[in-house]
Structure 1
């Protein structure tokens, strides 16, 4: 018991004097049991201790838009004859631009084409990109070998007569079968026929093969942010900048903020966050991507704090349908203390000799404080349990 301690409230707005010795403090009781003196009829405000989860959070300003633009380069030895207008959305199979007046469609994938897709039996992840996209566009591919199956790669092309080996040389052995790995596909007869049908449908020569530059492979549908050239330019250089078609929130976090949130695992890909819209509506969201490099804020001059770009997407895209651009706030979760005994911050009493206490019906109880969050504080103290009444500053 610390009944004779000199008490003072902290700067948290806890200024309240408790002259216990003078008997000016009374606990609230039913009228039939309490008989306060005429000089002391007021009762102190109380609250009960609770077991609850506490968590800190960090709010950072963000901007609604379409994310950071990325440059798109052409890979075709030709002349650009058409480009889409800024703001246009391009989906799988649609032409991204035209070269020599032929369409260069968009395919989805995680790697660019680096070689011609030709020759029955060709194996690779690039073949898988072609197969997956044609199948998604509705073309039948026939049987597709699965990972683990053995397939025969293309035969070695025959040499021109001018370079034919002497008649006495040994014949070229047949290609050695290879085992199909996960993520790969095979250029089968069915896939070659599908390529021919697709080429006929989009207005390309029916070769059954796809050369580098015949299609452009990007990670998904894109929105054209700006064009970099005009028709007549070479098609083997930067052509345009594009963004995602989905609206996102871009947040610029300082290194200190990123480090603090990373410790709580709230600033990493897939982490749940909350977006507060201009009308104060809170919507659930998650981290879509994290930048890998620090950069000075856009438009800054001189020394500026380097920032890391964090891209956030709301769980329900319809939420941002009517918002073209706006400033918002993103709340990242911090540290979490689960199922702890907590009291309202207003219940803390700062002791003259240091530390804190709370006032219970039995008197003052010294406490050890933990996390402060959301107007509550984690505490431990002798005899304190869930449901214990404590005095709070009014």
Structure 2
């Protein structure tokens, strides 16, 4: 009996050591069955395809495509590309086709960053299908962001930014640095016209100078001095998307890279033991939040894959985050503990009290981005 007991203890100890070693691994290619990016990405993408247009969880359908749906759609398309899943791509094309006809009113008017980001979807569809209808639509949306101010949402300061060479949609919320860079990076990828990516890089510098703090993180806005998780996630993902495409001779690239690396170093310090990040990054008592964790994981994976980050340092952090993040998926491929849509507010408790949603597209999208990033060469 003693021998049997000792054998069991030895086996358990070896299992714990093995699990610990697995968590510390820098390997971003090989994952256990059920945790591979191919499996997780397909689950989440298939679930998205089967889901009708959503309106931030409200029971009524949206009047236009919302930005969380745009981000998830874009993620599903990039995942289909990396996995060469033609069937998935066709389902995503099929989802778009009514927007050229009877449901064209669902296309957002590009008079705000949250609406303009929609252009990244038709531009990705163009890149994959070469259907010029997508290029015409997506390019028109991207161009509108740099055109003269117009529409109901125009504020007096919009003209000031525009006259200084920035987009009139500038509002200095960190969310914008994904919304703007995503569509402009896509326009550059689709057309090869450097004006798109160069303007986006210049815009990024404005936000870095205005919002990044000495610790590398970002306030939600100048008058909201809190390191909100998903807000910082938008910035991390936005810098990653921009750096993937901004030419090496762009004079703003070194400054953006420095800011990105400073942010990643800070995030490494604030990562929880299990790999997650918190609703307020620097408040360990705040709840662990999945959308920001997904965005930070995407940014780190992208950095390691492109050689911007040290693989031995950031590889284990990204791997641990991915393996823990996917445990928040339920049997319906809905991720839980997603912060609800959040406006800017100068109130610490406001961020702590945000509802935790399940299946919200703010959380579904980063899972697809991560799966795509893990599969990229």
TM-score, structure 1 normalization: 0.19
Structure that is richer in strand per residue = 1
Structure that is richer in helix per residue = 2
TM-score, structure 2 normalization: 0.20
**Could you say which structure has the greater relative contact order, defined with CA pairs below 8 angstroms and 6 or more residues apart?**
1
Q: Which has the larger radius of gyration?
A: 1
